[in-house]
Chains A and B, each alone.
Chain A
Amino acid sequence: MSAKLEITEPGHWRSLQELAGSKELEDVVHREFQIGASEWKDPVSRRKFLKLMGASMALAGVSACTRQAAERIVPYVRQPEELIPGKPLFFASALTLAGYARGVLVETHEGRPTKIEGNPEHPASLGASDIFMQAEILVLYDPDRSQAILNNGQISTWESFLGYLTGRTQNWKTDRGAGLRLLTRHETSPTFVDQMQHLMSKYPAAKWHEYEPVATGDPIYHFDKAEVIFSIGGDFLSWGPASLKYQRDFAAWRRATDRPGSMNRLYVVESTPSITGAMADHRLALSPDRIARLVREIQTRLESNEIASSVQQAKFISALVADLQQHTGKSLVIAGEHEAPAIQEFARWCNELLRNVNQTVEYSAPTAMRGGLAELVNDINAGGVKALLIIGGNPVYDAPVDLEFGKTLDKVPISIHMGLYANETAEHCQWHIPEAHALESWSDACAFDGTATIMQPVIEPLFAGKSRHQLLAALLEDAASDSYDLVRAYWQTQLPAPDFEKLWRKSLYGGVVVNWREPIKGSSFGGTQTLPLGAEISGLYLLIRADPHIGDGMFSNNAWLQELPKPLTKLVWDNAALISPATAERLQLASEDLVLLKYRGRSVQAPVWVLPGQADDCVTVHLGYGRARAGNVGSGVGFNVNALRTSDALWGGPGLQIEKTGQRHTLVTTQHHYMMEDRHLVRAGTVAEFEKNPASITRTDEPPPAKADTLYGNYRYKDRAWGMAIDLNTCIGCNACTIACQAENNIPVVGKEQVAAGREMHWIRVDRYFIGGVQDPKVFHQPVPCMHCENAPCELVCPVGATVHSEEGLNQMVYNRCIGTRFCSNNCPYKVRRFNFLEYDANRFESPISLKLMRNPDVTVRSRGVMEKCTYCVQRINAVKIEAEKANRAIRDGEITPACAQACPAEAIIFGDINDPNSRVAKLRASPLNYALLQELNTRPRTTYLAKLRNPNPEVEKA
């Protein structure tokens, strides 16, 4: 044991906890007899004895599992006098996505963070969360995170690194930092930027480069004001720093129960299906060259009102243009970040023309001062770089392949990498410093709109990570070397001094820095020329996109996200080359065929997946897979698209060739069948139909039998009767509910093979159905949790009464009583029950010790051989019930929120008491759009759906 026992402040066992996170101690935990124990007879054993005692004390700390958060952080809600065991505390902080902050509330149990929720007061979250936010908790506890400072692959210490750095800083001071380069991802942290500015003034010859593999330089949209939206490949609902806000604003327009007549209208033109495209009222699937021609026609039309008769989509164009022109100032044209610059410019031109700028869209100028990656590579190759610090990121893996970043990096004399993982880049660097997770250290970050959040740690670093601020402080030879001091010192310069303490506390408490905002510089527009009319391309297009769940690879080692069925394809644990059914037929390819993708002299092997709705002649591949050093979960999964990605074609382009290999690769999907088979599972109609006859949308062939027609008698509910309504109008199919449920309910990951065997464990799944032709189908999403049926077929057939009806109408699962006949699952028409076919808690995804700390203590971890399913988050219901009973009051509507509903950015899931006619859920159930899934079976579900309405332009689509 080399750890020191030092007590910094009386009563705080800070170092013990740091000690507990150390690698050595982990070894001690796993070892029956400690290293010292076998050397007990050593003559110099007194020192060893003391060391052992130290280790034992630390062990006692570990075994108690109480990682007490530091004392200076401020709980957000329900702040108790002192910590009460069994009561969670919530802390406001933020997590970043592509550098931008999204406010979170972190639920901690006895000092262990267990769940992340959105912060309702943060503009980029509004209380909602997405899959990345939810899955971040798994990153925190990921045992594959880097756990030690590495010097040329050997374990080293922070002190020896500092010693090494001191030698270098002396040199930089004399040569003004010539040859010193820093490479970061996109940074919005005011403290970090401030530190960098100090660094640049200290070493004026140094330079800061920034590289974000999937950058989002999008303007800020105001969907709350946009009545007509035209998106050209812009997937604003799924990915981006502001996507949660966009989803909320967009959903508000689609909530048919509020104002069916005033729904917004979304036109989408895209090459590869996205969840935004799935929400469109009119969607065209076109290859990029055809999109360019279409856009050109639209431009002509907008400029001169000429009718372009030659174009196929004349009806679409004229309807769209008319719609846009009727809604000047209330329309919005969006170009996705993957589209050609000309199209981006067109979008801006349109918005200027339609007077949308500063109404529905705000453009901002990119922040200067930072160089790019290509520039850095040039400088390295020219020999001008002597030392490179890579803070975060993984350029060796995700840099464009033509930059050959790995080889280039090897040429740099001094290379230092700081990151959460000892990844591909760390392998090429002399030093690797484990980075503290965002939940482990003090920092700050700005949201898409410039709102700043001070990120407070909720746990001491599990794996002895250091923060970026500490690294920069070391470079700056700053006296303050503690992140807390650094962040606080920065904000002392920003917030007015007399009230600083008050504002600081308030900012921490609320999760948003009070009265402070990063200014956003507006950008001027120079006008556009006529779009170059692209030639028609005959070959195949390669389209490179960020993976909807893994992103650019930063979540490769996240088993939750790997096992989460991807929107539209429902694939798990793999990426694939997506092609349209017609192209597949033309090339004689079938799903799971392994092909060689050849693009600009480079090639990669990929399995094919045929996806309805994909534009013909387009092959979409997703980044983030094929990692060599992701960790136990993500290494070797999928194929690496970066091998085809060059700096001049970041999102692909024409000229792709496909070669069959004759081999097959098993792809696993959770939904094999995409048709509805004429079953009225998702009820849908148009706004016009609804206005004509509201009941027509949900009419049914066969009404269920009368309530009295039952052998066993009906249940009576004196008090409360819980129910849920899911609005299919607002559900965008983002999967946030599934991951939120997984985090809340300790749902295990089972791995690719088990999912292939049909044994995924998600309690709420998002079904997707395609309707219409395979070329351009309409897509419907339907989240399916347990229906909590009044006449529950499962309850009837359980021989031991392990699934029973509660007095509030919950269909409860009693794990202890379950013997695992699985009859309940067979008899469940919704197939929402999940069975522990094996001891999933002991598999390689669930067994690491650190993950045990993540478990929600309010939810049982299920053993092998028992059935489980959605409980409506009964632990949350009971927590509120207890509080209400203590206060002798009724439970307020909305006081209980299941994890899925809490996460849902579109507020599509509403939970409450259906016995209370004034509750939101009771009102929704009274809506003419309300229907029960498979109601003809007389299960009488408590979970009901609101039928989906579309708002097509009558010019294009006759009702």
Chain B
Amino acid sequence: MVAPGHNSESVTQKISSIVLERPIMLGWLGGFTVAFGLLMMLNIAIGWLLIKGVGVWGINIPVAWGFAIVNFVWWIGIGHAGTFISAILLLLHQDWRTSINRFAESMTLFAVACAGMFPLLHLGRPWVFYWLLPYPDTMGLWPQWRSPLVWDVFAVGTYLTVSLIFWYVGMVPDLATMRDRAIRRPVQLVYGIIALGWRGSARHWKRFHAAYLLLAGLATPLVLSVHSVVSLDFAVAMVPGWHSTIFPPYFVAGAIFSGFAMVLTLAVPIRKFYGLQDFITIRHLENCAKIMLATGLMVAHGYITEGFMSWYSDDKFDIYMTLNRIFGPYAPAYWLLILCNVIVPQAIWFKKIRTNPAILFVIALLVNVGMWTERFVIVVTSLHRDFLPSAWGIYDATQWDWMTLLGSFGLFLSLLFLFLRVLPAISIAEMRTLIREQKEASK
């Protein structure tokens, strides 16, 4: 799990030096500039959106939800891998998770931040978003609890809060390490404040482990619940293509699928550029790929079940919806998702492929594309032809839709670049534990 020859000191040195000693490299600067540029584009897109209204997007009647919801579901799905790795694998004693959990958790946070932005922006009147919250309104108004959108607010809100606390609590010992290793006074001060006075006493460690495990226990059901609730945004509706009981598990599998794809998309370049091959080994990549394959097969099963159910239901609207997905105006999107989500991941069956970081990177990218397309297919093709043929329409994304999507990459990557720059990307404390355990095991 860790390349041989490392001890506690070398691990600490290696990881903390990325933040504390390594100068700002041209590559980082270039990458950050691009990401920041995209972020500024997002600002423009959001600014125009707030000035003019959601009409700047391509949405219409019947397709009243477009890129915003597609992006929301996609980003929130990506957010799942972090918690899955941190919480579920921790509880299952999968030690290999150690080296990737920190940046997977960060990825989760940033992805949820991107995701959380979209439902607010997509509102016709975003300035009154707080009406979704149960607060003591002077007129006695309350959210409408039968609507899955209200459940969504709580699911995503809870997820963001728990992920944030989990991520932060897990980082406290490392922040103390950073504080202790920092040379310059201001840096020491900043890390000192956010390290919350961690001194590494046995009592600290005892309480830390208890709190961390508890949080892991709290986060675990969220992995399943968040995307289940998100899927109910669709499943509760009566639109053919949405109204399906398979949605919660199918969405959760898809979320973990896309989440691990994103972990791989990030892990492969990071381990290369920061020379972390010793900590993020091929075995890590392989394990991620295996999870991706497993969840990918669940997703494929979901596609087959959906098709089967629409035939078996003998419901003319459902049958038409399925045929329309496969052969209708958005058929290219459907076939792209089949290619990316079902066909391409089958390559992972081969050991040669799943141990090749470059190929894994490409596969992971394609899965990311595929999962975005899947959400596009679910949202748009279901809506654009529903019950009354007279009301059928077509949805074309505008430049503002694309700018918002690309801009959300900018937000995500900017946060990621900053994270790599200022926080330890791999959990130092856990790596040290791991090395000690490895040594003990080898004795």
Contact = CB atoms under 8 A, between A and B. Distances in A.
A837 B53 contact: yes
Contacts of A863: 125
Interface in A633-685: 671-679, 681
A819 interface: yes
A815 to B, nearest CB: 10
A817 interface: yes
B224 interface: no
Interface string B301-322: 0000000000000001100100
B63 interface: yes
Contacts of B147: 796-799, 823
Interface stretch (A170-178, A205-213, A405-413, A828-836): A828-836
Contacts of B386: 829, 831
Given A759-B61, A837-B53, A817 B123 contact: no
Interface string B104-124: 000000000000000000111
Given A798-B147, A800-B143, A839 B389 contact: no
A937 B387 contact: yes
B55 A838 contact: yes
Nearest to B236: A797
Chain B contact residues, majority secondary structure: loop
Interface in B367-423: 383, 385-396
B123 A826 contact: no
Contact of B54 (A679, A834, A865): A865
Given A678-B316, A758-B394, A801 B238 contact: no
A767 B390 contact: yes
Interface stretch (B75-83, B95-103, B127-135, B291-299): B127-135
A934 B238 CA distance: 12
B389 A836 contact: no
A757 to B, nearest CB: 5
Interface string A938-955: 000000000000000000
A821 interface: yes
B390 A679 contact: no
Interface in A701-755: 712, 754
A279 B110 CA distance: 61
Most A CB within 10 A of own CB, among B125, B142, B317, B386:
B125
B62 A825 contact: yes
A800 B390 contact: no
Contacts of A240: none
A934 B386 CA distance: 12
A517 interface: no
Given A678-B316, A758-B61, A759-B60, A865 B131 contact: no
A818 interface: yes
Contacts of B56: 838
A141 B65 CA distance: 37
Most A CB within 10 A of own CB, among B55, B128, B141, B316:
B55
A892 interface: no
Nearest to B395: A758
Contacts of A758: 60-63, 393-395
B347 interface: no
A229 interface: no
Nearest to B124: A820
Chain A contact residues, majority secondary structure: loop
A836 B60 CA distance: 10
A866 interface: yes
Most A CB within 10 A of own CB, among B52, B60, B316, B394:
B60
B61 A825 contact: yes
A799 B131 CA distance: 9
A822 interface: yes
A785 to B, nearest CB: 13
Interface residues of B, number: 53
B146 interface: yes
Interface in B172-214: none
B132 A800 contact: yes
Given A793-B237, A831-B62, A865 B124 contact: yes
B149 interface: yes
B52 A830 contact: no
A875 interface: no
Nearest to A826: B64
Contact of B53 (A673, A818, A823, A838): A838
A864 to B, nearest CB: 4
A677 B123 contact: no
B276 interface: no
A106 interface: no
B239 interface: yes
A797 B124 CA distance: 16
A757 B58 contact: yes
B239 A826 contact: yes
B59 interface: yes
A673 B64 contact: no
A344 interface: no
B53 A865 contact: yes
B236 A820 contact: no
Nearest to B147: A799
Contacts of A679: 316-317, 387-389
B320 to A, nearest CB: 6
Interface in B218-249: 233, 236-239
A784 interface: yes
A759 B55 contact: yes
A671 B392 CA distance: 7
A791 B173 CA distance: 56
A866 B239 contact: no
B53 A801 contact: no
Interface in B137-184: 141-144, 146-150, 153
Contacts of B388: 679, 681, 767, 784, 829-831, 933-934
Contacts of A934: 387-388
A838 B387 contact: no
Contacts of A595: none
Contact of B125 (A673, A767, A833, A865): A865
A9 B383 CA distance: 64
A867 interface: yes
A769 interface: yes
Interface string A787-798: 000000100111
A678 B316 CA distance: 9
A430 interface: no
Given A793-B237, A826-B383, A829-B388, 20 more contacts: A673-B392, A675-B389, A679-B316, A679-B317, A758-B60, A765-B390, A769-B389, A769-B390, A798-B147, A799-B144, A799-B147, A800-B132, A819-B128, A819-B129, A819-B131, A820-B125, A826-B239, A830-B387, A831-B391, A836-B53
Interface of B: 52-56, 58-65, 122-126, 128-129, 131-132, 141-144, 146-150, 153, 233, 236-239, 316-317, 320, 383, 385-396
The 5 closest A-B pairs by CB, nearest first: A820-B124, A865-B124, A758-B60, A837-B55, A831-B391
